[in-house]
Structure 1
Amino acid sequence: MSHTATDHDSEAAGYPARSALRWRGVVRGLLAVLVVVVIAITAAAVAASRVPDFYRQRIAAEGPDSPVVEQASRRLVSDISALHASFIREGSWEASFTEGDVNAWLASDLPRNHRGMLPDVVSAPRLRFSPRRVRAGVRIGTGVVSAVATLEVLIQLREPNQLGIVVEEAGLGSLPLPKSLVLGEIRRRFDRLGMVTAVRRLDDRSVLVVYIPSTHESGGTSHWLERLAIGEGTIAFAGRTLAGRATLPTPRPADAEPVAAGP
């Protein structure tokens, strides 16, 4: 009996020690997880704060109040006004814009006269044009609590008034964002503008097809985008305005290429 009681007392005495060791293990495990989480959050914050080179270069260009930027911004406004005058009349129209003029307008005229076009947390949009591609960057947030979101899309004219758009890159700083979610948001934006959209799989990529209406409810004329060319630092397009709800005699522009044909 005394031997059994002694064993029982020994086990009872050892239980707090085993329990303490067990809790120490739990605490160490939690601390390890906490360290990993802190490192991950820090790494994510550093990655999100990274400013892409193309965006930094365009932000570092001439200040928004410089004469060069003001002149380029006015040139873009003048070119758009001339395009609109041709667009509303029957006949052919065309236009070409440079990346420099577009970014000058974004840097000066947009924040000064059209601030309501951007959400409150979004500022300083900039664009880069390269062959068949548009890359965009915007700053989200203010001060230290901000990051640069970027998006690169491949855009081609599949047929008159029919665009094909592929999201090639999307990110916040150097953190990648899901391309499917970004493509879905782009689609919703076009839907709100009254355009017909569809997503198709071509060459293992999701392609957003956008059908631009040729006529409006008022009728009268129809507008056809027949050519779109995005080159290094430039974007150009051309088309025709026809009387009534006419259809084009040409089913497809001669220089069009499949949107998913690759770089």
Structure 2
Amino acid sequence: MDVGWFLHQRVAFIRQLYGTSSAPYVERKRLIEAGEHPFEPPYSEDGEPPFQAEWQEADDSLHVLGYACVSMLSDTLKVFFDTWQRQACVADDLDLAKVFKKRGFVAGYNALFEQSLGIRFEDSGVDLALLEEVVLVRNRVQHQEWLGLNRPSHSETDLKRLKSPFFLDESERNVLTRDGQDGERTWLIAPRVSVTGDQLLSALDAVDRFADWMDEAMDLVGERRGERMRSTSRRRRPAPMKPSLGRGAPVLTPGSRGVVAVAAPSRATVRPRSSAPPPFPDGLAQLPAAACWLPTL
């Protein structure tokens, strides 16, 4: 299975989904800001911008659409890692369960693949904090706490962990923070989760680049495994049997399914070669053959 290709297909679907679905809301905001039909500003002396409710509804709609796309991207990442785990026959490690639970599945798979395959996500050159924030934003927008708002705020726990959130409105970053005594910025109130079109596209591009790197990294794992499997196979290959020339002794001849021992004058018996593969390298638990990705020998 070409794991990277399928991930790119999912990412491309999310990209077109947002582009197509966001168009009417983007246009509504443009018409209001330009004062074009049907949003020509009426005469008013109250100082309030005209059609503020309509503009805010369009803006909230764009963010909620971004939330849906980020949620799908988070699930895509999860399935991507899970598929590679099955393809590479990597067994779950109970010792890493705390990493998955406390730091999320991106950090958990990073630890699992580094331990089992020698792959470090940090070598990808992709901002792993952004990938982790995709998961945090998905969790936040799927488990809101306040009925009166369309856009949830970041949780205090997430803000402490992220330090400088990516999915954030820059105006709120500047207004709602202050410098603390230790030199770090603290939040006066929790800012809202922001997923603009540009922010979403940046996250999608990061996932695409990570998938390309992952493909190359797994190819190297396959090459290393193939070399070890070939080496193991050569070491374990039994010495060829020599035919006995004694009277009445069996004469060994190769057959299509194994070694055929012909004993004169008794009938022939078939002793098939063993079809069991050599022990799986790296001490990994082997999953069912249909679920495993192995290098071609």
- TM-score using structure 2 length: 0.23
- TM-score using structure 1 length: 0.25
Larger Rg: 2
Higher helix proportion:
2
Higher strand proportion:
1
